[in-house]
Structure 1
C-alpha cells in the first residue's frame, strides 16, 4: 500500500511529497467538509421542522463554536503526545470519523428537538476531533518548503467538499427525491443527503488513514525534527508557576462586566455565553497557576493554559489577522441572504416565493466562492507565495475579499454578484491556507497540535461576537439597511490585511 512518500530528502530532512502524497494527506478533509456543509446548510431547517422558533435558533447554534473551542485544544494537546503503532494523528482521524458518520446517519432520524440538539453537539465535537489533527498532520508530514503546497491542497479539498455538501440536497430534489414532508418529519432530500455525507466522510478519512504512514519518533529524530525530542514540560510549568494571578483576575472581571452589561442594556441573551467564557478562562487559568505552584502542573489544563499564555510572537501576530478575517466571514454567512433578498429581489417577506428564490441564488453564490477557493488554492496561491512570500500573498487575498464585499454597493443585477464571489473565494482560499502555512513553519513541531488547536480560539471568538454583538449594532444603527453589514465585512478584511504587515515569516 502506497504511503505517498517520495525518495529524495530535502533541506529539512523529510522526503519530498509528490502530488499524490499531498492529496492523500488531506483527502480526509474533503469528507469532513461535506459534513460541515450539510450541518451549516440544513440544521436550522431540521430544528424548525422539529418545532423550534426562529428566536431560539441562535442558542441552538452555539453548540458549533463552543464545541470547537473546547475540543480542539484538548485534542491538539493529546495528539502531540500520542505515539503508537497506529500513528500519532491517525487514531484521532478515525475515531472522529466513526463518531461523525454515526451522528450524520442519526441526525435526520431524530424524533424530537432535544435529540437533534444533542446530536448536533456530538456531530460538531466529532468533526472537530477529526479536523484538528489534520492541520498539524500537514506540518508533521511535510518539509517546510512544501507547507504552502500542503495547505493549498487541503484548502482545495475544503472548497470541493463544501460545494458537494451544499449542492447535494438540491441535486437530490432534481433527481426526483421528495423535498417536502408532513409536519415534524425531515424531508427525504435532507435524510438521504446526511446519509450520503456520513458515508463520504468515513470513506475519505479512511483513505487518508490507510494510504499514509506517519513518521516514527526515531525517524523524526533522524530528520532533526524536535517533535521527537520530548516536550519542554519543566520549562513550561515553571513559566506557568511564575505567572501572577493578575491576568486571571482581569479575565474573570472582563467576563463579569460583559454579563452585567448584557443585563443592564438588554443585549442579545447569547452574549451571556461570551461573558461566561471569559470568566471561565480566568478561573481555569487561576487553577492552573495554583496547581503549578503546588508542583501539580503537569496536566492537560496546565499545558493548555501555559501554552496559550506563552504563544510564539508569530502566532500572536496572526491571531489579530484571524480575528478580523473570520469576523468578515461570519458577517457574510449570517447576512448575505437578507441582503440579496432585499436589494436584488425586492422582498423582506421570508415566507414569499421571491425570498426563497433569493435564498436559492445565495446557495449558488456560496458554491461559487467555494469553487473559486478550490481552484485558487491549487494555482494562484502557490504561485504568489513562491514569488512574494506567504505574508504578502495573504494580504492580496484579503484585499480581494474586501473588494468583493464592497462591490455589493455597486452591483444592481444579482447575476453579477457572482463576480463578487470571485474576490471572496480568493480571500477564503487564502484564509484557509496562508496563516497555517506560516504557522507550521514557525512553531515547534512537538507542540504543533496544541498550538493549532489554540489558534482555533481566534476563529471561534469572532463568530460569537458577530452572532451576538453584530445583531445589536444592526438594530441600533441601520435596522432596515442590512447591506451595511457588507461594508463592515469589507472594512474588517482591510484591517486584517493591514495587520498582516506586522507578521514576519520564518
Structure 2
C-alpha cells in the first residue's frame, strides 16, 4: 500500500506478529523485576542500612546513561544477517542471564554491588534496541498497539518474577529465611529460574521475527531511512556553565559535609559539560565527529515533542525509582513492624512487597489491552495524563494505609500508571522521530529516565536524612507530587500528538 508521498506502508501485523515482536520483553522484565523487588532485600541482608540503599542502586542510572545512547547509535548503523536490532538484545540477554546466576550467590556487599552493575548494564543493552525494534517493524496505525504489547509482556514478566520468591515459599516450601549475611534460598532459586526465562524469551523473538532489509526501510521511509554521514554537528551552548555547576556541587559536598553520593551528581554534570564543550569545538571546526560527539549533537537537536516528553519522563521516573528502592523498607517497617532483616516478620513483609509488585505489574498487563482503544477515543496525550493522575493518587494512599492488605488498592492505581508510562510516551515519540535515528533518539530519551534515577540515587539519602529522618514513608508523598507535575507537563504537548492513534 502506497502513501500520499509515494512511500510503501508497512504491512499490518497480526496478533501473533505483534506477540512475537515483543515476547522477548517478557524475559527482560523478569530480570528487571527480580532486581527491583529483591536487590534492596539482598543489600539489607548483607548488612546495608536503609540510608545507603540509594547509593548502591546507582548502578542503574549510571549504566543506563552510558549504555543506552551508545547502543542506540550503533544499532542504527548495524546491518547483519541477524538484522539491525536483534544482535544487541541477544547479546544483552546472554550477559544478563549470567549476572542473574551470580547475583544471589553474593556473600559480600562489594560482590553484590558489582553484580548489580553488570546486570543493569546487560539489561540496558537488551532493552534499548527493543524500543526501536517496534518503531522499525510496525506502521503508524499500529504504534500504540505495538508498544502496548510490550507493556503486556513487561507486566507479565514482572508478575512472574515478583511473585516467584513468595510462590516458592508458599507452594513448594522453599525457605525465605537465611542466617545474617546470607541470601534466602527462595530468592536464589527465583534468580536461577529468571535467568532461564530471560534467555528463552529473547531467543523466541530472535528466531520468530525477521527485520526489514535496508531496501525495504527505504521503501517505507524514503530519505528518512538513510543516515547522512555528511550531516554537520550541531553547535551546543558553551559547556562552561555545566562544568561550573558541577564544580559547585562537588565543592558543596566537600565543604558542607553532604552525603558522598552527591559527588556522583556533580561528576555527571562535569562530564556532560566537558562533552558539550568538546562537541561545540568540533562543530565550529567543521569536523564530522565520532560517536560521542554525534550523540551530543543529536541531543542538542531533539525534536520539540521529545523535549516535552523528556520533561514528563524526568518527573515520572523519580516516583518510580522511589517505589523500587524504598517500598521494601517502608512496608516492612510501617506495615509489619520489622527492621531486623533476619526476622520472620521482615521476610514476610519483603515477600508481601513481591506480591504487591506482582499486582501492579499484573494490572499494567491487563490495562495495556485497553490503551489502544482509549487512545483512539480521547488521544494519546489525554490517555497518559489519566494514567499519571492515577499513579499520583496511588502513591498518596501510602501515607494513609497501615494494613498490608489495603496496599493492594494503591498498587492497582500504580499499575494503571505503569501501563501508560511504558506505552504512551513511546507511541507518541516514535511518530515524531526520524526513522534513521530511531535507535539513538530512543537511547537519548531513556537518558531522561536514568537522570532522575541518578538524582534519587545520589541525593535522596541526604534529602531523607534532612527532611524526615527515620520516616521514609514521606518519600511516597514526594512520589505523588512529582507525578502530578508530570501530568501537568503533558498539557504542553502539541495537539497533533493527541490525535494520533
Shift of 1:350: 5.9
Q: Is this contact kept in 1: 2:60–2:450, CA < 8 A?
A: no
2:210 to 204, 208, 213: 213
Structure 1 stretches lacking a partner, 5+ long = 1-7
Shift of 1:158: 0.7
Cα separation, partners in 2 of 1:356 and 1:43, compared to 1, 3 Å: closer
* Cα distance in 2, alignment partners of residues 193 and 349 from structure 1: 22
Shift of 1:283: 0.8
* Cα distance in 2, alignment partners of residues 105 and 43 from structure 1: 14
Question: Which TM-score applies when normalising by structure 2?
Answer: 0.91
Cα separation, partners in 2 of 1:134 and 1:181, compared to 1, 3 Å: same
2:386 to 384, 396, 403: 396
Tell me whether 1:170 sits opposite 2:161 in the alignment.
no
Q: Is this contact kept in 1: 2:68–2:128, CA < 8 A?
A: yes
* Cα distance in 2, alignment partners of residues 222 and 338 from structure 1: 53
Shift of 1:401: 0.9
Cα separation, partners in 2 of 1:358 and 1:48, compared to 1, 3 Å: closer
Q: Which residue of 2 aligns with 1:36?
A: 32
Q: Which residue of 2 aligns with 1:121?
A: 117
Q: Which residue of 2 aligns with 1:152?
A: 148
Cα separation, partners in 2 of 1:358 and 1:195, compared to 1, 3 Å: closer
| SS of equivalent to 2:80 | coil
2:310 to 319, 325, 338: 319
* Cα distance in 2, alignment partners of residues 350 and 206 from structure 1: 37
Q: Which residue of 1 aligns with 2:86?
A: 90
Q: Is this contact kept in 2: 1:9–1:16, CA < 8 A?
A: no
Cα separation, partners in 2 of 1:155 and 1:52, compared to 1, 3 Å: same
* Cα distance in 2, alignment partners of residues 183 and 421 from structure 1: 30
Shift of 1:336: 2.9
Shift of 1:420: 1.4
Tell me whether 1:495 sits opposite 2:491 in the alignment.
no
Higher relative contact order by CA 8 Å / sep ≥ 6: 1 or 2? 2
The farther-off stretch of 201-210 and 190-199 is 190-199
* Cα distance in 1, alignment partners of residues 278 and 127 from structure 2: 29
Shift of 1:368: 0.9
1:192 to 189, 194, 202: 189
1:483 to 473, 476, 482: 473
Q: Is this contact kept in 1: 2:177–2:184, CA < 8 A?
A: yes
Structure 2 stretches lacking a partner, 5+ long = none
Q: Is this contact kept in 1: 2:52–2:461, CA < 8 A?
A: no
| SS of equivalent to 2:95 | helix
The farther-off stretch of 40-49 and 130-139 is 40-49
* Cα distance in 1, alignment partners of residues 376 and 299 from structure 2: 31
Q: Which digits, 9 at most, give the CA deviation of each residue in 1:295-345, with x for residues without a partner?
A: 443310121010111111101000111111111112222333444445444
* Cα distance in 1, alignment partners of residues 169 and 85 from structure 2: 38
Cα separation, partners in 2 of 1:121 and 1:349, compared to 1, 3 Å: closer
Q: Is this contact kept in 1: 2:180–2:342, CA < 8 A?
A: no
Q: Which residue of 2 aligns with 1:298?
A: 289
Cα separation, partners in 2 of 1:291 and 1:217, compared to 1, 3 Å: same
* Cα distance in 1, alignment partners of residues 349 and 335 from structure 2: 8
* Cα distance in 2, alignment partners of residues 437 and 158 from structure 1: 16
Cα separation, partners in 2 of 1:495 and 1:180, compared to 1, 3 Å: closer
Shift of 1:456: 1.1
Shift of 1:122: 2.1
Q: Which digits, 9 at most, give the CA deviation of each residue in 1:428-486, with x for residues without a partner?
A: 11111110110011100111100110111111111122233333333323325433322
Q: Which digits, 9 at most, give the CA deviation of each residue in 1:44-82, with x for residues without a partner?
A: 444455666666544432122211110000000000011
Cα separation, partners in 2 of 1:18 and 1:235, compared to 1, 3 Å: same
Q: CA RMSD in A?
A: 2.4
Q: Which digits, 9 at most, give the CA deviation of each residue in 1:341-369, with x for residues without a partner?
A: 45444566666544444333332222111
Shift of 1:224: 3.0
| SS of equivalent to 2:481 | helix
Q: Which residue of 1 aligns with 2:435?
A: 445
* Cα distance in 1, alignment partners of residues 93 and 222 from structure 2: 28
| SS of equivalent to 2:431 | helix
Cα separation, partners in 2 of 1:127 and 1:24, compared to 1, 3 Å: same
* Cα distance in 2, alignment partners of residues 219 and 193 from structure 1: 42
Q: Which residue of 1 aligns with 2:259?
A: 268
Q: Which residue of 2 aligns with 1:107?
A: 103
The farther-off stretch of 273-282 and 256-265 is 256-265
Q: Which residue of 1 aligns with 2:127?
A: 131
Shift of 1:94: 1.2
| SS of equivalent to 1:224 | helix
Question: Which TM-score applies when normalising by structure 1?
Answer: 0.90
Shift of 1:102: 2.0
| SS of equivalent to 1:17 | coil
